[in-house]
Amino acid sequence: MASKNSTATKRADALRSIEAIVQAAAECLGRNPEASLSEIARAAGVGRVTLYGHFASRAEVVDAAMSRALDRGNEVLDAVDMTGDPRLALARYIEAGWHLVDQARALLAAAQRELSAGRILELHAGPAARVEALVARGRAEGVFRTDLPVAWMVNVLHAVMHSAAEEIRAGRLPSERAAGHITATVLAAFTPPGTPVPETGDGAHP
Amino acid sequence: MASKNSTATKRADALRSIEAIVQAAAECLGRNPEASLSEIARAAGVGRVTLYGHFASRAEVVDAAMSRALDRGNEVLDAVDMTGDPRLALARYIEAGWHLVDQARALLAAAQRELSAGRILELHAGPAARVEALVARGRAEGVFRTDLPVAWMVNVLHAVMHSAAEEIRAGRLPSERAAGHITATVLAAFTPPGTPVPETGDGAHP
């Protein structure tokens, strides 16, 4: 039977390996959504057997890498000022959130292949809750439309952000134009019928 | 060496098999994006060997089924009146196009797993050209915004349509609300800054 010490050592080793694998997965899949588990194990400095000891499938590795990216993303979004004019707050959220989507787009492509749409949505619960609260406040203050459901509006923002990521990946949109395009599009989409669409100067600021 | 007649017979048999496989693929994948090639062969009334004789991979089968669905879709879209007020034309296009996206959403899910984003885009060239022409006309007539690229606006329409398909699949949006939501969202997104968003009564008609 293993001594208390060696159990603790083994556990510490396992935690270190898992951390190394998740970090390597985020990096490898972030460069290439088709990166193999062998590549990820190599980048993590562990053997394939160790990787398979901790993760039952490629989907589990992708899930862990995606969770990690979203945890980091939530930390960045914590720093965004969501107070004041909801349109300005939305522009700030898009500016910060967009960079996260842009950085994570290869990882997201891997997630879309390996994970269910429901699981991807679940992982995005943090960002979704922020946008939901902002949309609800903008509706209460009369600057966002109330004739469409809040969930639909949150979904429109994410759809437009992710389609921008695909446009960039396809070489049809320069990365530095994306936040402006997304903001100009979504602020217009959220404007109550009968009210003028805000002038954003290509969406940088309403 | 085969006689002229038997060659013609073989060719006719091959065409019949291919047609049956593509039709079965569209039906099976339209019900379940994970339908196996064995299921598709069975539904087509051909053996797996015959299927593999005509299609080198699952991706080729999915590609053929998707091409077929888009050919049919283009026929339906041919019947849509794209003249008159560009906002009304867009609403009619969404009404017709939406039903096609809705019907083909499982097939599209299969395509997203098997085909590259570039290939999916290429297959959508027909619908994309129609929207492009309409957006360009709406801009020339001053009813659609000119501060964002036409390609981006076409992409926004498709992103919102496809995200509606995912919302329905996830059970978060009743199918019969989709066209109204898409129209209300996209007409607002296309409105020139400084101009009021059209009242659509939940987007059914501007």
**Residue-by-residue pLDDT tens, chain A, 206 positions:** 445 568 888 888 888 999 999 999 999 998 888 899 999 999 999 999 999 999 999 999 999 999 999 999 999 999 999 999 999 999 999 999 888 888 888 888 889 888 887 898 889 888 889 999 999 999 999 999 999 999 999 999 989 998 898 888 788 899 889 999 999 999 999 999 999 999 886 544 43
For residues B166-190, average pLDDT: 91
pLDDT at B203 over 70: no
Three-state SS sequence of chain A: CCCHHHHHHHHHHHHHHHHHHHHHHHHHHHHCCCCCHHHHHHHHCCCHHHHHHHCCCHHHHHHHHHHHHHHHHHHHHHCCCCCCCHHHHHHHHHHHHHHHHHHCHHHHHHHHHHCCHHHHHHHCHHHHHHHHHHHHHHHHCCCCCCCCCHHHHHHHHHHHHHHHHHHHHCCCCCHHHHHHHHHHHHHHHHCCCCCECCCCCCCCCC
- Banded model confidence at residue B59, pLDDT cuts 50, 70, 90: very high
Quick one: closest CA in B to A181, which residue? B148
Please name the residues in contact with A107: beta carbons below 8 A apart, sequence gap of 6 or more.
Answer: A26, A29, A30, A33, A62, A65, A66, A69
Classified as helix, coil or strand, B143 is coil
Residue of chain A minimizing CA distance to B166: A117
Please report the pLDDT score of residue B98 as a whole number.
87
* Rounded percentage of chain B residues whose pLDDT exceeds 70: 95
**How many angstroms away from the CA of B96 is the closest CA of chain A?**
20
Mean pLDDT of B75-98: 94
B61 vs chain A: nearest CA distance in angstroms?
18
Identify the H or E element spanning B129.
helix B125-140
pLDDT in tens, B105-116: 888 888 988 888
Contacting A with CB below 8 Å, chain B residues are: 112-113, 117-118, 121, 145, 147-149, 151-152, 155-156, 158-160, 162-163, 166-167, 169-170, 172-173, 181, 184-186, 188-200, 202
Residues A46, A17 contacting (CB under 8 angstroms): yes
Domains by residue range for chain B, with CATH: 1-56 (1.10.10), 58-206 (1.10.357.10)
Contact A145, A191 (CB under 8 A): yes
Per-position b or e across B152-161, b if 16+ CB within 10 A of its CB: bbbbbbbbbb
What is the per-residue pLDDT for B202?
55
In this predicted structure, what is the pLDDT of residue B167? 86
pLDDT surpasses 80 at B3:
no
Q: Inspect the interface and report whether the beta carbons of A198 and B193 lie closer than 8 Å.
A: yes
Whether residue B159 and residue A155 make contact (CB cut-off 8 A), yes or no, is: no
CB contact under 8 A, B188 and A184: no
Measured CA to CA, the distance from residue A91 to residue A121 in angstroms comes to 22
CB contact under 8 A, A197 and B193: yes
CB contact under 8 A, A152 and B145: no
Minimum-distance CB partner of A148 among B156, B181, B194? B181
In angstroms, the separation between the Cα of residue A146 and the nearest Cα of chain B is 10
Mean residue pLDDT of chain B comes to 89
Judged by DSSP in three states, B145 sits in coil
| pLDDT above 50 (res B206) | no
Residue bearing the bigger pLDDT, B1 or A26: A26
Q: Give B2 or A54, the one with higher predicted confidence.
A: A54
CB contact under 8 A, B184 and A148: yes
Q: Do B145 and A198 touch (CB under 8 A)?
A: no
Confidence (pLDDT) at A205: 40
